[in-house]
């Protein structure tokens, strides 16, 4: 009888079911399903990023456009990709992840399909540059940061690494396929292929993605239940305010500057110009594209390992090591390239692949450390600098090829810039304890 009364009294002291929903943890937490959908979404959005390097020569041959003109269209795409990201993070706070990402995927598909009928270079800049740039920018790494921040408290570094690797996975899947399509059937079927890849992902996003753990009565993975906040109004105003606040701090400029060099030495240089560079050295385009896809394989491994390391070691030192090693590898590339794939070239592909976007988890970790609850938007602006750096080199790389007839000077310049990024990463000051959860206001 006493046990029954004690049990009843205990029941009276329990919080109501709605309040108890937070601690409920299923056998496989829903956060991992959301992360999986995010991974597939980024793959679908990344499909178009496989195309520019493959299409420089076909577009040059068919329309007579200079490599500088084509590079300008690619640079517009990359710049808008970066500049859209911070606004996309704020829009996700206002309208939800599902709506923003579904619209973005549709824009990517529209731009890819419309390019099939283009006849002038300005149309290339509209379809590739404007539509695809805005669409892919809305699914940029700020999307991964938003999902990670909402759904995970523990394992954030690991999940960031996995989601970052999704872009490389898209490269791994689509580069060899698109290279074969371009080689056998022309560039138009390849463009339609990536449009379909973007559209296929939309139903997965709409049916399986959820904006916040509270939508399904869960706490974030490894954390306590948090009610879903009200939609944040004034998304654009908040994004700009966060930029001005972050710009008053030294770490922002160091992170943005180093990440601009990161973009210049990856998306702007390797992704855009590696295939035409290899073709200049008599390597067949499908072989060069396959090497670029292999970079994606080791990119996945390297980024996941980097996420694991970021949970355990000083992110500043990790960044310095990553940038230094990347710079060294780029300095040697002109000596290794040739018509055949030889062991030194394979070593470069593996080495560079491990380092490709290994910089993302420690950069995002430093944004979280410095800027707290505004970190996703701040990282969006840092990513914007990444893409601006990529855009500049995508354009200047083409100009250099037109002017000098070869790419070698671009690789040497990129190697020197990476050394500068390593130094910039080391001098970032650690955030002092108890500085608060939001932006530091001190310069």
408 exposure class (CB count in 10 Å sphere: 0-12, 13-18, 19+): middle
Please state the rounded mean pLDDT for residues 316-332. 92
Q: What is the DSSP letter of 269?
A: I
- pLDDT category at 432 given cuts 50, 70, 90 is low
**Which value, in Å, is the radius of gyration of the alpha carbons in the chain?**
23
pLDDT, one tens digit per residue, over 4-52 is: 444 444 444 444 444 444 445 556 788 888 888 888 888 777 677 667 7
**What does the alpha-carbon distance between residue 109 and residue 85 come to, in Å, rounded to a whole number?**
18
Phi, then psi, of 221 in degrees rounded to 5? -60, 120
- pLDDT category at 425 given cuts 50, 70, 90 is very high
Please state the rounded mean pLDDT for residues 351-377. 85
Judge whether residue 2 has pLDDT over 80. Answer: no
More confident residue, 207 or 170: 207
Task: State the pLDDT at residue 140.
Answer: 65
Range name among 98-107, 375-384, 433-442 with the lowest pLDDT average: 433-442
Q: Return mean pLDDT, the chain.
A: 80
**What does the alpha-carbon distance between residue 436 and residue 443 come to, in Å, rounded to a whole number?**
15
Judge whether residue 81 has pLDDT over 80. Answer: no
- pLDDT category at 91 given cuts 50, 70, 90 is confident
**What does the alpha-carbon distance between residue 319 and residue 363 come to, in Å, rounded to a whole number?**
8
More confident residue, 228 or 360: 360
Task: State the pLDDT at residue 438.
Answer: 53
- From the list 126, 130, 45, the residue with the least C-alpha distance to 84 is 130
For residue 215, CA distances in Å to 40, 149, 212, 226 come to 21, 15, 5, 11
109 exposure class (CB count in 10 Å sphere: 0-12, 13-18, 19+): buried
Q: What pTM value is reported for the model?
A: 0.69
Q: Which residue has the tokens 């300008």?
A: 72
**What does the alpha-carbon distance between residue 133 and residue 330 come to, in Å, rounded to a whole number?**
27
Judge whether residue 3 has pLDDT over 50. Answer: no
Q: Which residue has the tokens 């808008």?
A: 80
Task: State the pLDDT at residue 439.
Answer: 54
Judge whether residue 73 has pLDDT over 90. Answer: no
Task: Answer yes or no: are the C-beta atoms of 422 and 357 closer than 8 Å.
Answer: no
**What does the alpha-carbon distance between residue 89 and residue 188 come to, in Å, rounded to a whole number?**
32
Tell me what percent of the residues of the chain surpass a pLDDT of 90: 10
Judge whether residue 385 has pLDDT over 50. Answer: yes
pLDDT, one tens digit per residue, over 123-171 is: 888 887 888 888 877 776 667 778 888 888 887 777 877 787 776 667 6
Task: State the pLDDT at residue 182.
Answer: 85
**What does the alpha-carbon distance between residue 271 and residue 427 come to, in Å, rounded to a whole number?**
29
Alpha helices (runs of H) in 115-155, residue ranges in sequence order: 121-124, 133-137, 141-151
pLDDT, one tens digit per residue, over 219-267 is: 888 777 877 777 766 767 878 888 899 999 889 999 999 999 998 998 8
Tokens describing residue 238: 């908040």
Task: Answer yes or no: are the C-beta atoms of 397 and 273 closer than 8 Å.
Answer: yes
Please state the rounded mean pLDDT for residues 383-406. 85
- b/e map of 366-377 (b: 16 or more CB within 10 Å)? bbbbbbbebbbb
- From the list 374, 167, 366, 176, the residue with the least C-alpha distance to 266 is 167
- b/e map of 280-317 (b: 16 or more CB within 10 Å)? eeebebbbbbbbbbbbbbbbbbbbbebbebbbeeebbe
Task: State the pLDDT at residue 442.
Answer: 37
Alpha helices (runs of H) in 47-139, residue ranges in sequence order: 52-63, 67-95, 97-114, 121-124, 133-137
**What does the alpha-carbon distance between residue 345 and residue 46 come to, in Å, rounded to a whole number?**
25
Judge whether residue 443 has pLDDT over 60. Answer: no
**What does the alpha-carbon distance between residue 132 and residue 134 come to, in Å, rounded to a whole number?**
6
Q: Is 424 helix (H, G, I), strand (E, B) or coil?
A: helix
pLDDT, one tens digit per residue, over 171-201 is: 667 777 888 888 888 888 988 888 888 888 8
């Amino acid at each position: 009888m006493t046990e029954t009364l004690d049990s009843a009294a205990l029941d009276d002291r329990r919080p109501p079911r709605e309040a108890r929903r937070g601690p409920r943890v299923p056998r496989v937490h829903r956060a991992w399903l959301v992360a999986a959908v995010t991974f597939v979404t980024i793959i679908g959005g990344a499909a178009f990023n496989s195309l520019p390097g493959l299409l420089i020569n076909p577009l040059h041959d068919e329309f007579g456009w200079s490599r500088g003109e084509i590079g300008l269209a690619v640079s517009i795409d990359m710049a808008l990709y970066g500049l859209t990201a911070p606004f996309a993070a704020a829009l996700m706070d206002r309208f939800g992840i599902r709506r923003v990402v579904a619209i973005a995927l549709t824009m990517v598909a529209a731009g890819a399909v419309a390019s099939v009928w283009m006849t002038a270079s300005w149309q290339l800049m509209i379809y590739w540059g404007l539509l695809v740039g805005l669409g892919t920018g809305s699914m940029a790494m700020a999307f991964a940061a938003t999902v990670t921040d909402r759904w995970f408290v523990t394992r954030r570094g690991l999940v960031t690494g996995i989601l970052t690797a999704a872009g490389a996975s898209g490269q791994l899947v689509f580069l060899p396929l698109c290279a074969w399509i371009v080689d056998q059937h022309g560039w138009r079927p390849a463009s339609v292929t990536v449009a379909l890849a973007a559209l296929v992902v939309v139903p997965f996003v709409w049916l399986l993605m959820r904006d916040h753990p509270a939508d399904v009565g869960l706490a974030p993975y490894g954390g306590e239940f948090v009610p879903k906040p009200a939609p944040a109004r004034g998304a654009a105003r908040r994004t700009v305010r966060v930029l001005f606040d972050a710009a008053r701090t030294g770490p922002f400029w160091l992170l943005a500057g180093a990440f601009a060099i990161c973009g210049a030495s990856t998306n702007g240089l390797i992704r855009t110009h590696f295939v035409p560079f290899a073709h200049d050295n008599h390597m067949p385009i499908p072989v060069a594209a396959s090497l670029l896809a292999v970079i994606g394989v080791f990119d996945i491994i390297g980024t996941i390992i980097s996420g694991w390391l970021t949970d355990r070691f000083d992110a500043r030192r990790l960044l310095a090591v990553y940038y230094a090693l990347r710079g060294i590898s780029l300095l040697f590339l002109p000596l290794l390239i040739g018509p055949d794939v030889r062991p030194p070239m394979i070593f470069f592909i593996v080495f560079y692949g491990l380092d490709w976007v290994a910089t993302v988890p420690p950069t995002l970790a430093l944004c979280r450390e410095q800027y707290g609850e505004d970190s996703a938007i701040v990282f969006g602006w840092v990513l914007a600098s990444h893409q601006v750096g990529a855009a500049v080199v995508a354009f200047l790389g083409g100009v250099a090829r037109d002017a000098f007839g070869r790419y070698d000077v671009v690789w040497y310049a990129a190697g020197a810039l990476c050394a500068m990024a390593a130094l910039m990463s080391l001098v970032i000051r650690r955030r002092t304890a108890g500085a608060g959860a939001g932006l530091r206001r001190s310069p």
